[in-house]
Structure 1
Amino acid sequence: MTYLKDRYVNFFTDYGFKRLFGEEHNKDLLRDFLNELLKDEQGAIVDLTFF
């Protein structure tokens, strides 16, 4: 019998942060996060490039 076990990632850890924001398909999340974080110091971030 197979069952699914819930798994959670703590986004306050290095692994969790990189897992959430460090992948190309989550680029919109990272851009929105940075724009909210840096809105007073910098203009809006329009695009990001991953290396």
Structure 2
Amino acid sequence: MKQVEETYISLLTDFGFKRIFGTAMNKNLLICFLNSFFNGRQVVKDVSYLNPEHVGGK
């Protein structure tokens, strides 16, 4: 039987943070994460994902 190797993503890296919180699939996870910082003083209800790519030009 083939053994499965587990892989972990570190949230302390830019890649890991964007991979976990920067996708629409994990939108609810990001909202919960942000609300944990505000501790009820403010509430994040929704987030929008913008295109992170900047195409040069004028």
Q: Which sections of structure 2, spanning at least 5 residues, go unmatched? A: 51-58
2:14 paired residue number = 14
Report whether the alignment pairs 1:47 with 2:53. no
Q: Which sections of structure 1, spanning at least 5 residues, go unmatched? A: none
> How much does 1:11 deviate?
1.2
Q: For this pair of structures, how many residues does the alignment match?
A: 50
Identity level (%): 35
The structure number with the bigger radius of gyration is: 2
The CA deviation string for residues 10-49 of structure 1, in whole angstroms up to 9 with x for no partner, is 1111111110000001000000000011236x42111111
